[in-house]
Amino acid sequence: MSLMALIFDVDGTLAETEEAHRKAFNDTFAHAGVGWHWSREDYRWLLRTTGGKERIRRYLVESGSACPGDDAIALLHRRKTVRYAEIVAGGELSLRPGVRELVAQARLAGLSLAVATTTNRPNVDTLCELLWGCPAGNVFDVIAAGDEVVAKKPAPDVYELALARLGMEPGDAVAFEDSRNGLLSARKAGLRTVVTPSSYTQGEDFSGADWFLPDLRSESLPKELRMTLAHAALPSAE
C-alpha cells in the first residue's frame, strides 16, 4: 500500500463537534431575535447541506421563512463562528478515540498530514488550540477549508485543493471521513477513504468506502494501514 499522507475531515471526524455547532447557531439566532431554533433532528437533516451559510439558506427555504439576504446571513454566520469558539473554549470537546495516537504515529512515520474540511479556517484553528494546544498549522502540514473553494462537499474541490498543496496524487493519500457527503467528496477526488460515523451520521449510506470503522484506535484500523504505518516508521537500513 503506497501511502505518503493522511487527509482528515474535521467536524465529526477529529471530534464530535456538531452539537457545539448546533448550540452556536441557536445562541446566535436567539441573540439576533430572528425566532429560529434548530432541534437535533432539524440539524441532522440540515447536515446534508454542507456549509453553515448554506444550511441557513436551506432552512429558510424549507421553513418558508423570509430570507434576510446574503449580507445578513454572512453576518449571522460570522457571529456564529465567534460563539462556536467561545463554546469550544469551554473545554467540553475531546478528540475521538484513536485520533491523537494516529496523528502522532503518522508524524513519526514521516507521513504528511492534511485537513480537507467544509468548515472555515478559524474553526479549525479553534479546535486545534483546544485539543492540541497549538494552531492547526502546527499539527497539519496542509489545511484546505471550505471557504477556499467554489463548491463544497460532496464536490471534490476541497480534497483536490489539499492534494495540490501537498504536491501529491490521489493514490498517495488516504482520506478520513464521517459523513456521506464527505465520502462522496473524497471518492470523487480519487482517494481511498476510511469512514468512522459520528453521532450525527450513524445510519447514512457509506457504500463505496474502502474501510468502515467504529473509530480510529489502532486495533480498529485495517491491517494494511497498520502495516503501512509500522513499515514507514522503521529506520532504513544503510
Position 237 scores a pLDDT of: 44
Q: Answer whether residue 1 shows pLDDT above 70.
A: no
Q: Which of 146-150, 220-224, 225-229 has the lowest mean pLDDT?
A: 225-229
> Would you say 177 and 193 are in contact if contact means Cβ atoms under 8 Å apart?
yes
Residue-wise pLDDT for 46-66, tens only, equals: 999 999 999 999 999 999 888
Domain of residue 130: give its range: 5-16+95-232
User: Do 146 and 198 sit in the same domain of this protein?
Assistant: yes
Alpha-carbon torsion, ordered 212, 214, 216, 219, to 10 deg: -100
Structural domain contains residue 24 = yes
pLDDT in tens, 113-142: 999 999 999 999 999 999 999 999 999 999
Catalytic residues: 9, 11
54, 70, 90: which is the final residue of a domain? 90
Using the predicted structure, report yes or no on whether residue 231 has a pLDDT greater than 80: no
216 and 167 within one domain: yes
Count of helix runs (H) and strand runs (E) in the chain: 10, 6
pLDDT tens by residue, 77-124? 999 999 999 999 998 899 999 999 999 999 999 999 999 999 999 999
Q: Are residues 108 and 222 located together in one domain of the fold?
A: yes
Whether 100 maps to a domain, the answer reads yes
pTM (predicted TM-score): 0.91
Instruction: Tell me, yes or no, whether 115 and 82 share the same domain.
Output: no
Residue 162 has pLDDT above 50, yes or no: yes
Query: Whole-angstrom Cα distance, residue 99 to residue 217?
Result: 7
Residues 178, 219, single domain; the answer is yes
